[in-house]
Structure 1
C-alpha cells in the first residue's frame, strides 16, 4: 500500500525559515532509514505558499490565484511517499520521524493512495488502465 504523508505548514515554514543543521541531519538519517528498509518512494519540502499559485476550476473557467495563502494550517510544507503493508506500519514509521518544525507543534497527515485495483470497470476501462500503466512505466524509467 502506498501512502502520502503530508507535513502541515506552520507560520515559520510559511515565513521561509530554514531548518537547523541538526534537524536536517536528523531528517536525512530518518529518510535514509526508510530507504534502507525499502519504504521511501519520494520525499521533499515545499517552499512557502508565497512562491506558489492555485488554479481554481469552475466548469470551463480557470482562475489563477497567486500566493501567499491565508490559512496556514491548511497548507502543505512537505511530504513523503511511502510504501508499507498497512496504515499501522505507516504510523509506526512516522512516529520515528524527528519533529519537522523545531520548537513548534507540528502535524502530519497520513493518507492512503488509490491503487489501480481500487477502480472498477465503470471508472476505468481496460484501455484506460493500460494507458495509465504505460504512463507509470514511462515515469519510472525516467527517474
Structure 2
C-alpha cells in the first residue's frame, strides 16, 4: 500500500526557520534508510504558507487566495510518499523518524493513498487505461 506521510507545520516552520545541520544530517540518514529499504517513493520539505496560494472552488467560480494561511496546525511543512506493507509498518517507520521540529511539539500524519481498486465499478476499463497511460508518461524522463 502507498501512504502519504504528512509533516505538520509549526510556528517556526511557518516563520521560515530553517533546520540546522544536525537535523538535515539526521533526516538525510533517515531518508537513506527509507530508500535502501524500498519504502520511500518521494519526499520534500515545503516553503512556509506565505509563499503559497489556495484556489477556492465555490458555486462554479474559482478564487485565488494568497498565503500566509492562519491555522498553522492545519498546514504542512513537508511530506513523503512511501510504499509499505501495512499502516502498522508506516507507523513503525515514523516512530524511527528524527524529531522534525526540535524544540516544538510536532505531529506527523499518515494517510493511505487511493489505489485503482478502491474506486470500484465507476473506474471503468477506459478510465483504467487512461490512468495507466498517465502513469507511464510520468515515469518517462522529461524531454524524451
TM-score range, shorter chain: over 0.9
CA RMSD of aligned residues (A): 0.9
Q: Deviation per CA, 1:36-89: give whole Å up to 9, x if none.
A: 000000010000000000000013200100000000000011001000000000
Which structure 2 segments of 5+ residues have no match? none
- Structure 2 residue aligned with 1:53: 53
Task: Measure the CA separation in 2 of the matches of 1:139 and 1:48.
Answer: 27
- Structure 2 residue aligned with 1:131: 130
CA positional deviation for 1:93: 0.4
Task: Measure the CA separation in 2 of the matches of 1:41 and 1:49.
Answer: 24
CA positional deviation for 1:124: 1.2
Q: TM-score, length-normalised on structure 2?
A: 0.96
Task: Measure the CA separation in 2 of the matches of 1:93 and 1:46.
Answer: 21
- Structure 1 residue aligned with 2:5: 5
Task: Measure the CA separation in 1 of the matches of 2:141 and 2:15.
Answer: 34
Q: How many positions carry a matched residue from both structures?
A: 142
Which structure 1 segments of 5+ residues have no match? none
Q: TM-score, length-normalised on structure 1?
A: 0.97
1:86-125 aligned at under 5 Å gives the runs 86-121=86-121, 123-125=122-124
CA positional deviation for 1:142: 2.8
1:36-47 aligned at under 5 Å gives the runs 36-47=36-47
Task: Measure the CA separation in 2 of the matches of 1:53 and 1:33.
Answer: 33
- Structure 2 residue aligned with 1:71: 71
**SS of 2:31 mapped into structure 1:** helix
